[in-house]
Amino acid sequence: MKAISGTDTLKERVKKMEYENEAVQIVSDFLEASMKPDPVKAATYMSADVRITFTGGRAMPTAKEITAFNAGRYRWVKKQLGQFDWTEHHDHTVVYSNGTLYGEWPDGKSFSGNRYLDRFEVRDGKITRMDVWNDSAEWILAPEIAKP
């Protein structure tokens, strides 16, 4: 497994991604588009039969539904990208992206430091599976543990 550190500069990270693994670049480009949010562009990185599962086992048919779900949970949300890790398999690459979420809840209260971990499977240049985990549900259920 190879890693790109969150302490690398953006230029260093992009250079490592471009030269070391195409799947990491695809995931990075997808995350950039999805955080704008630009679900139309984000969808271009996904296969037509992509399987997307969010926290709580919520199935999302497309990138557009991810944007709609996030719009209901947050006033706005962005990712502070941390590290990318990946491993090659026979017919696909698994890419992990971790870091933290920051933004505002629907009531306007800001938050940061909300951990996330996303797992992607990339086949033939497209994301075919995406699994998402983060602390949002815990923070909603127990606001006292959330960071402002």
We find that the CATH architecture of domain 2-145 is: Roll (3.10)
More confident residue, 44 or 143: 44
Span 89-115, pLDDT tens digits: 999 999 999 999 999 999 999 999 999
Say if CB 46 and CB 127 are below 8 A apart: yes
Asked whether the predicted pLDDT for residue 2 surpasses 60, the reply is no
Decide: residue 27, CB within 10 A, 0-12 exposed, 13-18 middle, 19+ buried: buried
Please give the mean pLDDT across all residues of the chain: 87
Q: Name, in order, each residue with C-beta under 8 angstroms of 82's C-beta and a sequence gap of 6 or more.
A: 6, 97, 98, 99, 100
Check residue 125 and give its pLDDT: 96
The first and second tokens of residue 93, run together, are 């690459």
More confident residue, 36 or 4: 36
Report percent pLDDT > 90 for the chain: 63
Number of Cβ within a 10 Å radius of residue 117: 13
Span 5-24, pLDDT tens digits: 555 555 565 555 454 689 99
- What are the residue boundaries of the structural domains of the chain, listed by start? 2-145
